Structure 1
């Protein structure tokens, strides 16, 4: 169960982050501070804290809802998250971060940016689906977040373009819908 929860959490969060506002935030922080290691550390710590709280909430829900309903809820939520991903993120002003160093700026801004984000909601759903896999979901979702953001931090502007962002949203949305459909089909097989 640990391996499944870890692998699913890693894959879904990494896919869900493609073209997300947090990748744009990673890019902006990398451009501003040009210090990738403290930025990555801030992103990692913010993600671990945010997703641990999300997984805790998911585990709480797991004790209240029948497992078959949770699987159905997970499948439907992935489809809805995929459709949500087709709606472009609005440019949100998350603060300029000039007063703080790269670690503090990345930690605070990432924690705020993840509140109510689709990957946070996916983490809640995954923890509800895998209630005995709390650590697997938290570490998997954090790894997925880092897999999606480390290249953006390191490569910066060369990876970001409006056209690339649009296709990244479309592809990751399609994958979320596909995973949701597979999850729902597993209920009837």
Structure 2
């Protein structure tokens, strides 16, 4: 039970500090300003849950493919590496404005393209509305907005620092606790982004978040270095 709690707390803390002010955080906030929040939240959170499960699965399988001693050492190096990376970003980053502008520019380009395509098929949409009224559940489940939120978040997180850190955590901690903590952290961050991400980001210093995350990763690295490897 203690191993589950330890994995949960580590994963929760790491996820929150990694995701606040992240590109996917801003993407969820911007999408929620233009589309129904329920669909954006469902799409973004679904993508993050799938990513957490996949990452934890890879981390859980790693000790079966490589010796636990090596996975432990690799995880320790990952923690120190991510810690130094986050600290460097905290001291050198120009703040969240640059990242927000980058995400907003990308989404604006997609928004204009979608708007142009929508105008061309406006007549067809009138007929489709009648069909959607007959199947509201399916039309919402396969909504382009939901799928867009899912794809942007999923591919935005692929290969991200938080994904690799989740793999490392699951290889060294209880995978079930890592999954629970990761999902809880993703749910908190995504909900905050959808409900008021832009105003929240303006109240939180990106530098403080990056420095806090760096310190947390270094602490994890020290703890992992000092702990014994389970056979």
Give TM-score scaled by structure 1 length: 0.81
Partner of 2:199: 158
How far is 1:170 from its partner? 2.1
Between stretches 81-90 and 42-51, larger displacement belongs to: 81-90
Q: 1:13 touches 1:122 (CA, 8 Å); kept in 2?
A: no
Instruction: Indicate which of 158, 165, 168 corresponds to 1:115.
Output: 158
Aligned residues: 185
For 1:84-95, list aligned pairs within 5 A: 84-85=85-86, 86-87=88-89, 88=93, 91=102, 93=106
Between stretches 111-120 and 68-77, larger displacement belongs to: 68-77
Distance in 2 (alpha carbons) for counterparts of 1:107 and 1:12: 22
Structure 1 runs of 4+ off > 4 angstroms? Answer: 97-101
Corresponding residue SS for 2:110: coil
For 1:51-70, list aligned pairs within 5 A: 51-70=52-71
Partner of 2:25: 23
Distance in 2 (alpha carbons) for counterparts of 1:176 and 1:12: 8
Unaligned segments of structure 2, at least 5 residues: 115-142
Q: Considering fraction of residues, name the structure with more helix.
A: 2
How far is 1:96 from its partner? 2.8
Higher relative contact order (CA 8 A, sep 6+): 2
Q: Does 1:124 align with 2:167?
A: yes
Distance in 2 (alpha carbons) for counterparts of 1:71 and 1:97: 45
Q: 1:16 touches 1:176 (CA, 8 Å); kept in 2?
A: no
For 1:33-52, list aligned pairs within 5 A: 33=35, 35-52=36-53
Partner of 1:5: 7
Distance in 1 (alpha carbons) for counterparts of 2:222 and 2:152: 33
Partner of 1:73: 74
Give TM-score scaled by structure 2 length: 0.68
Distance in 1 (alpha carbons) for counterparts of 2:183 and 2:65: 25
Unaligned segments of structure 1, at least 5 residues: none
Corresponding residue SS for 2:65: coil
Corresponding residue SS for 1:19: coil
Distance in 1 (alpha carbons) for counterparts of 2:15 and 2:159: 14
For 1:95-106, list aligned pairs within 5 A: 96=110, 99=114, 101-106=144-149
Question: Greater CA radius of gyration, 1 or 2?
Answer: 2
Cα deviation digits, residues 34-77 of structure 1 (max 9, x gap): x3322221122111212222222212211133334333322221
Partner of 1:171: 212
